[in-house]
Structure 1
Amino acid sequence: MPRRHLHLKAADGERLRAGFAALRADLGLPGAFPPAALAEADAAAVTGARTVPGGRTRRDATDLPFLTIDPAGSRDLDQAMHLERRGTGYRVHYAIADVAAWVTPGGAIDTEAMRRVETLYLPDGSIPLHPPVLSEGPASLLPGQDAPALLWILDLDADGELVGTDVHRATVRSRRRFDYREVQRAVDAGTAEEPLALLRDIGLLRERAERDRGGISLPIPEQEVVEARGTWHLEFRAPIPAEGWNAQISLLTGMAAADLMTYAGVGILRTLPDAPATALAQLRRVARALEVDWPDGTTYGDVIRALDPARPNNAAFLQEATGLLRGAGYTAFDAGVPELATHAAVADEYTHVTAPLRRLVDRFAGEVCAALVAGTDIPDWVMGRLHELPKAMETGDRKAHEVERECVDLVEAAVLEPYVGEHFDGIVVDLNDRQDAGTVQLRRPAVRAKFAGPGLKLGAPARVRLTDADLGRRRVRFAPG
């Protein structure tokens, strides 16, 4: 299920910093890396990347002018791309940080990564999967430095459909880093040059392909904390098109990797069963209540693509639609394709290979693909843990969701604390079966909170009074206004 993102745009303040420290302690989140892992990372940063398994050489791709696109301020850069035309179609060079070149199987970093599973993001800073001396240093695809990578070469036809796949180990050098808003401004102004300008062309083609195969991407609005004149506000920020185009390159790579795995009958897939009919029926009821148009014969994916996430009722519907994506997991296999091999939202086979600095499974999945294309045996350290990964990732994902939820609750309490007793206007976006309790989404600030009262109606306006905003308990409560 897609997560609600949370960003702090202003200084967080002493009480909020203390709240995040308490949250980390309450949830037992990892702190500093063990000394052995730090020592191993320091040594790797000095000695450089490990040699390619089997004595093979790493290809030199430093002549390609790669670029990166990430949130502003990021330093753990997993991906770099170079896009070019190829006849009437396109060629995507997609370099993924080769974390296996820095992590010794069974070593201290590897052991700690198996415990952490994925990078956790909090508004006051992240808890990284790997020691930053590597993940924000030589292992990252930062501009101006040569870095080891798994280089995917994906050929597309004129319609953006995949017609050729290759992946091999290479040395790459990024020339420039962009954030999403820089990309969007350049494209909108018509000043983006190739290869950056091709991101829009390829992204739009892949979005159309997604629609044609029945897939869907949810443009969930992000919550941002904004400080103005000494007061705090939460606002929703709708994602911009450049984020979607960039995501399509990652999806394309994950689908290509899944094709390799299913053809060979070995690997690990990201899977999601189709949403049950009851869930779709409930979403239709929500659409009617929120006055979201859903004509007969129209798929829910087409409904979502027509929405404006900046509108409150549309944002509420998108949040409810995430319920259709519950149940995603990982499926490992080594004796043929499993019964459930597809991801309902992708509408195809799919796996995670594009974020190995931040997600454990990607290192293993990338290694499987590299071995399959090279025609070599998949390393023992991969096969020995392949079937452990689904449970490990499930645990890590559950922890990440918990962290996110608690962070949202804390910031909402901090933002609303000065306004206890005041009234707010909102809209009812969720109801229980008795229709006497549910969730209200305030029009301002961007808060969704539990609410109880008689005669509630889904999608109806609600006037509520803030009765409690407790930072210590990370709790917000409303009552009928």
Structure 2
Amino acid sequence: MVTRPVVVAPEIDFAGVRAEFDLVDDFPEDALAEARAATDRFASLREDRTDLPLVTLDPPGSMDLDQALHLERTDTGFVLHYAIADVYAVVEPGGALDRETHRRAQTFYLPDGSIPLHPRELSEGTASLLPDEVRPAVLWRIEMDERAEPAAVSVSRARVRSVARLAYAGVQRDAEAGTLHPSIAALPEFGRLREAAARERGAIELRLPEQDVVADGDGWRLEIEPRTEADDWNSQVSLLTGMCAANIMIDAEIGLLRTLPPADPDAVASLRRTARSLGVEWPAEMSVGAFLAGLDANLPTTLVLMSEAPTLLRGASYVAFDGELPELTVHGAIGAPYAHVTAPLRRLSDRYATEVCLAVSSGAAVPGDVRDMLGSLPKIMSSSDSLAGKVGRACIDLSEAVVLSSRVGETFEATVLRGATERRDAEIFVPSETVIGACAGAPAESERITVRLVLSDPQSRTVQFAHEP
């Protein structure tokens, strides 16, 4: 469901959100100086792979380009070359920039701009895989069979050059027209095979309405974040690489995994009861992942089920290990072991997990500074992820309150996502305004109702509706 709100907010000042969460764009001078002077510490060890016609695929306007790919269809399957920005090579361990990136841990995204993990001179310049620029990279090579299952994996340092910067919408149009760039002509087939494999693994994909705040001329608007098949195909490239990385580290008994416990049986049972109450068929033999994947995104019952489905996926964490495997090595939503290695310009953990994979693949010892840091990364990343979630929610809440501030007293059509309990009001989705908010009263889940806006306060970032029977 993609909708455009009627009202555009002329001014939304996100400075208060930045101040509240102590998000500062500027870097200390010594860290900035290191970024400007950064050179490739492993230049002499790199293989020249500038012959590979790699392409990047990102949202329009992105400059911090972590990944570039080339996907080839062969007689026996596929060969993926996936180049990842080599951040470890340009950030001196223990230096001022290294210390500052450990403090930040990730890039924070706000509607009016990002708070980057690395100075823009590096993340959007000398380390970014921008088109027509030779860059140091970590190059994954993954050979796959006819089902797009990995058969052989290698990872090494290389010099690479992207030949094109592509965006999701354009790739989707090209796919539909049969005119995809040759470097990703096999992406739709690959993506669909990997999606089928995910369903076989019992992976759980949540398709919740993702709210986004976007610039609209001189103002801002709320919308449901558009997502194309091309987004999903590209995400399968990253997921496959992360799964391969996890297996490399598990085999070597050292590394950093992203884990999630399997879906709690009580949560699955509760979701089944909700589906039954909504009249949505869920065969007993069908897995929860297959059930969710088959839902019609345009039905209000799907919104209700998807809003409850996050209860299946609780307990995500980072797990570091060295010499003894952790009790949990699987990511429940993916249905396999998984690690973050594909976004080192935007996420600190990827830099270290990648170095482990490089060392193991070459038969070398894991660098001492990497080994020493592994144990502290789970706490750093978990804290940073929590902060990112709070920042994102604050931006959405503020935007909703500003967009609706002049419309208190008006009525809207809405779908009930969750019914009211003793502790909280019902939760509703107002598609015309792309708003998810609290609603007083006792409307039934999945019901389409009329609501009245009774409060919209930008200062407290609060929006409140009431059911109009």
Write the distance in 1 (CA, Å) between the matches of 2:280 and 2:348. Answer: 39
**Who is 2:242 aligned against?**
254
Q: Deviations over 1:67-89 (max 9, x none)?
A: 00000100000000011133321
**Who is 1:273 aligned against?**
261
TM-score (norm 1): 0.92
CA spacing shift, 1:421–1:12, aligned 2, 3 Å: closer
**Who is 1:167 aligned against?**
155
Write the distance in 1 (CA, Å) between the matches of 2:436 and 2:8. Answer: 23
Shift in Å, 1:103:
0.3
Q: 1:464 aligns with which of 428, 442, 451?
A: 451
Write the distance in 1 (CA, Å) between the matches of 2:58 and 2:323. Answer: 37
Q: Are the equivalent residues in 1 in contact too, given 2:4–2:222 (CA < 8 A)?
A: no
Summarize the alignment of residues 305-320 of structure 1 with structure 2, pairs less than 5 Å apart. Answer: 305-320=293-308
Shift in Å, 1:223:
2.4
Shift in Å, 1:390:
0.3
Write the distance in 1 (CA, Å) between the matches of 2:211 and 2:297. Answer: 12
Deviating 4+ runs (over 6 angstroms):
5-8, 226-232
Summarize the alignment of residues 41-440 of structure 1 with structure 2, pairs less than 5 Å apart. Answer: 41-44=35-38, 48-51=39-42, 57-225=45-213, 234-434=222-422, 437-440=425-428
Shift in Å, 1:424:
1.4
Q: Are the equivalent residues in 1 in contact too, given 2:131–2:164 (CA < 8 A)?
A: yes
Write the distance in 1 (CA, Å) between the matches of 2:175 and 2:202. Answer: 27
Q: Deviations over 1:221-260 (max 9, x none)?
A: 3324578899975332452111010000000000100111
CA spacing shift, 1:226–1:368, aligned 2, 3 Å: closer
Residue 125 of structure 2: SS of its match in structure 1? coil
Write the distance in 2 (CA, Å) between the matches of 1:226 and 1:331. Answer: 35
Shift in Å, 1:26:
1.4
Q: Are the equivalent residues in 1 in contact too, given 2:439–2:464 (CA < 8 A)?
A: yes
Write the distance in 1 (CA, Å) between the matches of 2:364 and 2:3. Answer: 43
CA spacing shift, 1:457–1:368, aligned 2, 3 Å: same
CA spacing shift, 1:387–1:232, aligned 2, 3 Å: closer
Q: Are the equivalent residues in 1 in contact too, given 2:300–2:446 (CA < 8 A)?
A: no
Between 273-282 and 125-134, the greater mean CA deviation after superposition: 273-282
Q: Deviations over 1:261-305 (max 9, x none)?
A: 010111011000012122112222333455543233222211221
1:35 pairs with 2:35: no
Write the distance in 1 (CA, Å) between the matches of 2:124 and 2:427. Answer: 40
- Give aligned pairs, total: 467
TM-score (norm 2): 0.94
Amino acid at match of 1:475: T
Q: Are the equivalent residues in 2 in contact too, given 1:429–1:441 (CA < 8 A)?
A: yes
Write the distance in 2 (CA, Å) between the matches of 1:32 and 1:234. Answer: 28
Q: Are the equivalent residues in 1 in contact too, given 2:63–2:124 (CA < 8 A)?
A: yes
Residue 100 of structure 1: SS of its match in structure 2? coil
**Who is 2:465 aligned against?**
478
Amino acid at match of 2:463: V
Write the distance in 2 (CA, Å) between the matches of 1:346 and 1:200. Answer: 20
Amino acid at match of 1:264: A
Q: Deviations over 1:27-74 (max 9, x none)?
A: 222331111111111111xxx32235xxx6101000010000000100
Q: Deviations over 1:306-359 (max 9, x none)?
A: 123344432343232223222111110001221100001111111000000000
Q: Deviations over 1:192-212 (max 9, x none)?
A: 243221111111111111111
Q: Are the equivalent residues in 2 in contact too, given 1:91–1:154 (CA < 8 A)?
A: yes
Shift in Å, 1:145:
0.3
Q: Are the equivalent residues in 1 in contact too, given 2:212–2:396 (CA < 8 A)?
A: no
> Unaligned 5+ residue runs, structure 2?
none
> Unaligned 5+ residue runs, structure 1?
none
Q: Are the equivalent residues in 1 in contact too, given 2:260–2:313 (CA < 8 A)?
A: yes
Write the distance in 2 (CA, Å) between the matches of 1:223 and 1:409. Answer: 10
Superposed CA RMSD: 2.4
CA spacing shift, 1:467–1:299, aligned 2, 3 Å: same
Q: Are the equivalent residues in 2 in contact too, given 1:237–1:310 (CA < 8 A)?
A: no
Amino acid at match of 2:37: A
